[in-house]
């Protein structure tokens, strides 16, 4: 493995993507490989696809660790619940499973946590001291809490109850589309949600990611927060970059 070049793999409900990342700059040094997620997205079927991606880069990663994101909490290598992959992932000691199937060290990390680490180390929150909260607005709300570069894993801030609702059921960008809300109407909901998170955690910075972040000029100026808030920079590269960072910096099983 070239020093500083690490493979990151991002497992999603529709696609499994991987690329070689240069951790000196936090960006790809290869083309991104994307393979559709198997229709029956069991651990075995997904591991086979991850293995194909690893093979693409075998001559460049050697026996080094690979970082892999999943759309689920990862608690000491085990997945307690799953939403966007086959239910057979539930309760799986997934780090050990993938290590055995792929024959190499694996660092498994929640996808929102990976994106958050990428933004803190290479993106919109680089060199920002204190507590950074990264929120990805999509179908739901993904979240990562990072204090002075140290991740608090598996934060599910999209599921905070607010005004009698699961917060993401009111404030995600998916709900904006579903209910055909104007940016002004949606920003009022987002403002209420972010104000609540601000009260709970007193962060030093909010970073807003997800596809809608490219339209940040249409809604960030409508918010009324004391906490600075900025759009994410790495966008759809964040998961892979964060997975690679985790492989190099978090303990591999």
Backbone phi, then psi, for 68, in 5-degree steps? -130, 125
Q: For residues 78 and 109, is the Cβ–Cβ distance under 8 A?
A: no
Beta strands (DSSP E) in 57-128 are 66-70, 106-110
What pLDDT does residue 1 have?
Answer: 41
Q: What pTM value is reported for the model? A: 0.94
Q: For residues 7 and 32, is the Cβ–Cβ distance under 8 A?
A: no
What pLDDT does residue 4 have?
Answer: 78
Sorted by where each starts, the structural domains of the chain and their CATH numbers stand as 5-111+237-249 (3.30.420.40), 124-232 (3.30.420.40)
Q: Please state, in angstroms and rounded to a whole number, the distance separating the CA atoms of residues 77 and 96.
A: 7
Instruction: Provide the token pair at 229.
Output: 């808030």
Question: Mind listing the pLDDT tens digit of every residue in the chain (253 residues)?
Answer: 445 799 999 999 999 999 999 999 999 999 999 999 999 999 999 999 999 999 999 999 888 999 999 999 999 999 999 989 999 999 999 999 999 999 999 999 999 999 999 999 999 999 999 999 999 999 999 999 999 999 999 999 999 999 999 999 999 999 999 999 999 999 999 999 999 999 999 999 999 999 999 999 999 999 999 999 999 999 889 999 999 999 999 976 5
What pLDDT does residue 2 have?
Answer: 45
């Amino acid at each position: 493995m070239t020093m500083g070049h690490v493979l990151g793999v991002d497992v999603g409900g529709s696609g499994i993507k991987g690329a070689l990342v240069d951790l000196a700059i936090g960006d790809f040094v290869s083309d991104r490989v994307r393979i559709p997620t198997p229709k029956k997205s069991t651990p075995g079927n997904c591991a086979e696809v991850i293995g194909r991606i690893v093979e693409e880069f075998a001559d460049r990663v050697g026996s080094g660790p690979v970082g892999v994101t999943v759309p689920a909490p990862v608690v000491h290598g085990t997945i307690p619940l799953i939403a966007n992959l086959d239910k057979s992932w539930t309760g799986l000691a997934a780090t050990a499973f993938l290590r055995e199937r792929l024959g190499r060290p694996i660092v498994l990390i929640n996808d929102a946590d990976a994106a958050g680490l990428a933004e803190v180390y290479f993106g919109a929150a680089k060199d920002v001291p204190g507590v950074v909260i990264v929120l990805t607005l999509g179908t739901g709300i993904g979240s990562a809490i990072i204090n002075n570069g140290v991740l608090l894993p598996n934060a599910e801030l999209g599921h905070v109850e607010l005004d009698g609702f699961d917060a993401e059921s009111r404030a995600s960008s998916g709900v904006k589309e579903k209910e055909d809300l104007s940016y002004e109407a949606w920003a009022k909901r987002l403002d209420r949600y972010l104000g609540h998170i601000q009260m709970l955690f007193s962060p030093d910075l909010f970073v807003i990611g997800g596809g809608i972040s490219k339209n940040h000029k249409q809604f960030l100026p409508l918010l009324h927060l004391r906490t600075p808030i900025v759009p994410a920079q790495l966008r759809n590269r964040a998961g892979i970059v964060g997975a690679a960072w985790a492989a190099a910096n978090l303990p591999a099983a």
